[in-house]
Structure 1
Amino acid sequence: MSPAVPTGPRLTAKGAQTRRRIIDGAAAEIRERGAAGTTLDDVRARTSTSKSQIFHYFPGGKEELILAVAAAEADQVLADQQPHLGRLDGWADWQQWRDVVVRRYEAQGVHCPLGVLITELGRATPAAQELTARLLDRWQAALRTGVETMQRRGEIDPALDADRTAAALIAAVQGGVVILMSTGRISHLEAALDTTLALLRDSARV
């Protein structure tokens, strides 16, 4: 069984604020420098904390800190898609969701802490794999609910497997994000989402 994603010790309000400041500072460094180029000294300087403070909150060092950044980013990925992700009741809602996703990743650019998790840490650590799986399960469940709603309304072919369709939508997003991280181009993400949604829209007409 995979070890649980580290949650850290119970913190005071001040301690929680300090820990969050370190995570936010590390996320900013990763966006600017990439994960490999970010050091604990960079994070310490940006957040006005000491190394002892960083290791107090993240005893596993840089890898644990990056994992904490990815966990925060994972929560933010879903939060940024609301309220659209939770009310995919018509094609206008789906288009709004698509637009929010594209804008989010376009604004984030090539350095994505969550992308680091999926493409680097996710291959190496069970905790990162578990965290990635949790995010994708939550995301897929929300999209599956949207697909099922549209199937009940006759807007999507009821013969389609709603769960697999939701999985395909996530794969379209993540594939586009990987290309964005590699090239700086948002067009592949836009094309993947637009094509997938067009196919779903047409499925009920066949």
Structure 2
Amino acid sequence: MTRTLTSKGAQTLSRIVAGAAAEIREHGVDEVRLEDVMARTRTSKSQLFHYFPGGKEELLLAVAQYEADRVLDDQQPMLGELTSWPAWEQWRDRLIVRYREQGTQCPLHILLGHVGRRTPAAQAVVTGLMHRWQAAIATGIRSMQASGDVAAAVDADRTAAALLAGIQGGVLLLLATGRTDHLEAALDLAIDALRGPTGDPPATGR
């Protein structure tokens, strides 16, 4: 959506997208009809096509962006406050809980599969998500460097990229196995490596 919306229009659009996301989570993308979304969101056909003239495919892409935003929102405020080792541990725990609750049914993964992962629009959703996620992790690393808890020689951007790659690998294995073991291992080893010789000893009891 590139056109300017009024406050009321933005609220209506958000209501349609959130309602469509809820329908998809409950019934699956293949079972959801535009009529179901209209009934759930109390919108008319003319309203829905005003905001999504491309119909269901355009709406699904908007829902994919909504779900991508939720990936980061679900990690807050921890992801935005990686300023101490306890904060990193809290973020790690929140991430594990988030994906454990999600299980093997990832709404974003399903939606992107439906709209076509290789389309420019779908790739933009994924690229935007990964860029923001990596940037948040890198900001946390730089904060720890400023306090002397992470060595200054650590490349924050490259380390954040590696940590994010480990998370994504763990998530893919979760989707295949239903287990978070690999995700937990990737997070634990990455955080312990960040501590290095200047940080506190690794947390126990994980």
Distance in 1, matches of 2:177 and 2:26, equals 15
Distance in 2, matches of 1:97 and 1:88, equals 8
Q: Which amino acid aligns with 1:159?
A: A
1:143/1:120 CA distance change after superposition, 3 Å: farther
Distance in 1, matches of 2:124 and 2:83, equals 30
Residue 174 of structure 1 is matched in structure 2 by: 168
Residue 87 of structure 1 is matched in structure 2 by: 81
Distance in 2, matches of 1:32 and 1:111, equals 11
Note if 1:22 corresponds to 2:16.
yes
1:151/1:11 CA distance change after superposition, 3 Å: closer
Note if 1:96 corresponds to 2:90.
yes
Q: Which amino acid aligns with 1:99?
A: D
Residue 153 of structure 2 is matched in structure 1 by: 159
Q: Deviations over 1:26-57 (max 9, x none)?
A: 11222233334433344234334344332221
Q: Which has the higher contact order (CA 8 A, sep 6+)?
A: 1
Whether the 8 Å CA contact 1:109–1:180 is kept in 2: the answer is yes
Distance in 2, matches of 1:119 and 1:171, equals 20
Residue 197 of structure 1 is matched in structure 2 by: 191
Identity, % of aligned positions: 58
1:117/1:91 CA distance change after superposition, 3 Å: farther
Residue 118 (structure 1) shift:
5.6
SS in 2 for 1:174: helix
Question: What does 1:128-139 correspond to in 2, within 5 Å?
Answer: 128-139=122-133
Question: What does 1:106-145 correspond to in 2, within 5 Å?
Answer: 106-116=100-110, 121=115, 123-145=117-139
Q: CA RMSD in A?
A: 2.7
SS in 1 for 2:69: helix
TM-score, normalisation: structure 2? 0.79
Task: Name stretches of at least 5 consecutive residues in structure 2 with no aligned partner.
Answer: 200-206
Q: Deviations over 1:134-169 (max 9, x none)?
A: 222222112112112223444334333211111122
TM-score, normalisation: structure 1? 0.79
Task: Name stretches of at least 5 consecutive residues in structure 1 with no aligned partner.
Answer: 1-6
Whether the 8 Å CA contact 1:73–1:113 is kept in 2: the answer is yes
Question: What does 1:23-102 correspond to in 2, within 5 Å?
Answer: 23-102=17-96
1:60/1:184 CA distance change after superposition, 3 Å: farther
Residue 150 of structure 1 is matched in structure 2 by: 144
Q: Deviations over 1:106-155 (max 9, x none)?
A: 33343333334566646322122123222222221121121122234443
Whether the 8 Å CA contact 2:64–2:112 is kept in 1: the answer is no
Distance in 2, matches of 1:184 and 1:44, equals 34
Distance in 1, matches of 2:139 and 2:129, equals 16
Residue correspondences, number: 199
Whether the 8 Å CA contact 1:30–1:112 is kept in 2: the answer is no
Deviates more, 1:33-42 or 1:55-64: 33-42
